[in-house]
Amino acid sequence: MKKALAFDIGGTKIYSTVIDEKGEIISEIDKFSTPKTLDGIKDVLKKQVSKYEDKVDLITIATAGAVNNENTAVIGSTGNLVKGYFTLDFQKLSSKKVFVENDANCAAWAEYKIGASRGTAVSVMLTLGTGVGGGIIINNKLLKGKSGAAGEMHFKMYPDKRRKCTCGSYDCFEIYASGTALKLDAEEALETHDVTTYDVIAGLKSGDKKMTEIFNRWQNDIIVGIKGLTNLFDPDCVVLSGSMAQFVDIKKVEKEVNEDLVVSPTSIRLATAGNYSGMIGAALLGMEING
Amino acid sequence: MKKALAFDIGGTKIYSTVIDEKGEIISEIDKFSTPKTLDGIKDVLKKQVSKYEDKVDLITIATAGAVNNENTAVIGSTGNLVKGYFTLDFQKLSSKKVFVENDANCAAWAEYKIGASRGTAVSVMLTLGTGVGGGIIINNKLLKGKSGAAGEMHFKMYPDKRRKCTCGSYDCFEIYASGTALKLDAEEALETHDVTTYDVIAGLKSGDKKMTEIFNRWQNDIIVGIKGLTNLFDPDCVVLSGSMAQFVDIKKVEKEVNEDLVVSPTSIRLATAGNYSGMIGAALLGMEING
């Protein structure tokens, strides 16, 4: 059976393991804090490659940042990684084929192959974490766009410049639907900076009225965003993943999204491919694309 | 050379002509007011079919309303056409193959084959008319979604229910970017119902300050919507068609859209396939899909 050495390179952590063509993790999972320099990142990758490359058929990398259509390089800068990260020549890491794809796209692919959107032809996956990631599958293929960067959840929630997004633009879905957004919602509602995402979740769980209101505003913004995505893509399902997804009332979101669509109803689902879906999706997609 | 009898069925008019596989109109263009009854519509179609079906290889229909993935039927109701329109059995009109597709999708296909988006793999087309239509082409195929209705421009411009859309939902792009929207913008700004879309355009042309402000708000909403679409689809170009597109400052829109994207820049273009792009696109797509 084919095997891939899989990486997940994020702003905080780098994970690595070996995954077979069924999507099974067949080795221990190595974890590293993401080095603050490009050379540091390269060293982590090289060390793992030299340890495993003889045992695998290819190297597959899920990474923060947009990846080109050839799946060879990161294009443009990514806020969470070191400057110049996009200059990293992944192919030089190994004599074997190195396959690279955006982490949210990889996670969407894992959900499609072995998770919540399995068996569907058209799906949208949203990772609700510190930021918001997106991966869109259309007719069993990842949506990549002209340069490879499609599926960015930076459509606008207001037209009149209210809240600056991490991307430098204003009022993107990301800055209303992320964990960061929930903190910002709370700051605005309570007129203080002394409140965290965790405080809102704790208040929601204990039945605090104000915190529940703040959470519901945040959740409503997610509903409104998903309505728009559903009218655009007419997906079989929308999958929610990431650390914030567990707090979302999936049934309520599904009911409200389907209330006034132009297209036929969609299904809202929690992700099921697990915490390592980035690595799993990278491995499965890399093995599929590279025969 | 292959030929199609092409129709364009809209809420006000039905057009019909014969189009060859190069997209050339090779017959006179017949025009009818759209009958107010289903039988009336059928009679118009049947009359044209009996006149032309011996001379063509298939019948192709661009129609208002979402069309299924099999290109055989309209799914669900369409606000602008008679009740029960979706029950029309198009295949019964002729012994030849009858191919049906949504009119905006057809127009997008015409732009892709012979118009403004020719030679691009990924494009978004917006028809800015009384309403707003959308057609999206991804890797040289129309985006259809699970049921065939994808590409509906009903993503939200506000999350908090300000302006009711013709679809029954609130704050859809359509109700901020259409000709109707420009009238609504003017009504709000001038606090009167005694103002038309035409008044705003006339004021814009004569340099009236207030009307120019109103127009700019409308154009800004279009810019904001296109930014979101561009980050989602990463298109080579966005094509603007429809009766309102001529008033848009294409260069300004392109400049502002590209100011703060997450993906690489896109190109904004005026449609060039002409007023009969719906029929041309239906004919070209129908001939392509049906060999």
User: How near does any CA of chain B get to the CA of A27, in Å?
Assistant: 36
CB-side exposure of A181: number of CA atoms within 13 Å?
Answer: 28
- Residue A208 inside a domain? The answer is yes
Using the predicted structure, report yes or no on whether residue B275 has a pLDDT greater than 80.
Answer: yes
C-alpha to C-alpha distance for A206 and A211, rounded to whole angstroms: 9
The ipTM is: 0.95
pLDDT at res. A83: 85
User: How near does any CA of chain B get to the CA of A18, in Å?
Assistant: 31
H or E element in which residue A222 lies: helix A209-233
Q: What residue of B is the nearest CA neighbor of A236? A: B146
State how beta strands B98-102 and B58-63 pair.
parallel
Mean pLDDT of B13-20: 97
Extract the tokens encoding A219. Answer: 């959740």
Mean pLDDT of B24-38: 96
Q: Do A133 and A61 belong together in one domain?
A: no
Rg of the Cα trace of chain B? 19
Domain count within chain B? 2
User: Cβ(B204)–Cβ(B198) under 8 Å?
Assistant: no
- Residue B91 inside a domain? The answer is yes
Tens digits of residue pLDDT in A200-259: 999 999 999 999 999 999 999 999 999 999 999 999 999 999 999 999 999 999 999 999
- Residue A157 inside a domain? The answer is yes
Q: Do A82 and A130 belong together in one domain?
A: no
Q: Do B16 and B157 belong together in one domain?
A: no
Q: What amino acid occupies position A81?
A: L
pLDDT band for B83, please (50, 70, 90 cuts). confident
Using the predicted structure, report yes or no on whether residue B77 has a pLDDT greater than 70.
Answer: no
- Residue B107 inside a domain? The answer is no
**Burial of A33 (C-beta count, 10 Å sphere; 0-12/13-18/19+):** exposed
Q: Do A203 and A259 belong together in one domain?
A: yes
Tens digits of residue pLDDT in A150-181: 999 999 999 999 999 988 999 999 999 999 99
Q: Do A123 and A266 belong together in one domain?
A: yes
Q: Do A62 and A191 belong together in one domain?
A: no
pLDDT at res. A239: 98
Facing B156 at nearest CB: one of A147, A152, A224: A224
Using the predicted structure, report yes or no on whether residue A76 has a pLDDT greater than 80.
Answer: no
Give me chain B's average pLDDT, please: 96
- Residue A112 inside a domain? The answer is no
Mean pLDDT of B27-51: 96
C-alpha to C-alpha distance for A134 and A123, rounded to whole angstroms: 11
Q: Do B14 and B138 belong together in one domain?
A: no
- Residue A185 inside a domain? The answer is yes
Tens digits of residue pLDDT in B181-203: 999 999 999 999 999 999 999 99
Extract the tokens encoding A7. Answer: 């990486």
> In Å, how far are A92, A124, A159, A165, B129 from B176, measured between CA atoms?
50, 25, 10, 23, 12
User: Cβ(A275)–Cβ(A31) under 8 Å?
Assistant: no
pLDDT band for A80, please (50, 70, 90 cuts). confident
- CB spacing of A156 vs B228 below 8 angstroms: yes
pLDDT band for A77, please (50, 70, 90 cuts). low
C-alpha to C-alpha distance for A108 and A269, rounded to whole angstroms: 12
Facing A150 at nearest CB: one of B76, B221, B232: B232
Q: Do B123 and B230 belong together in one domain?
A: yes
Q: Do A47 and A170 belong together in one domain?
A: no
Q: Do A165 and A262 belong together in one domain?
A: yes
Q: Do A135 and A255 belong together in one domain?
A: yes
- CB spacing of B228 vs A154 below 8 angstroms: yes
CATH number of the domain within which A80 lies: 3.30.420.40
Using the predicted structure, report yes or no on whether residue B262 has a pLDDT greater than 70.
Answer: yes
Q: Do B153 and B47 belong together in one domain?
A: no
Mean pLDDT of A193-203: 97
User: Global pTM?
Assistant: 0.96
- Residue B108 inside a domain? The answer is no
pLDDT at res. A236: 98
pLDDT at res. B229: 98
Mean pLDDT of B123-130: 96
Contacts of A121 in chain B (CB under 8 A): 146
| Longest distance between any two alpha carbons in chain A, whole Å | 58
Contacts of B138 in chain A (CB under 8 A): 138, 143
Percent of chain A at pLDDT > 70 equals: 99
Extract the tokens encoding B53. Answer: 């079906």
Question: How big, in percent rounded to 5, are the helix, strand and coil portions of chain B?
Answer: 40, 20, 40
Residue A98 domain boundaries: 3-107+275-289
Facing A263 at nearest CB: one of B152, B227, B235: B152
Mean pLDDT of A92-109: 97
Mean pLDDT of A111-140: 97
Mean pLDDT of A78-92: 87
Lowest-pLDDT range of B78-87, B212-221, B227-236: B78-87
- Residue A158 inside a domain? The answer is yes
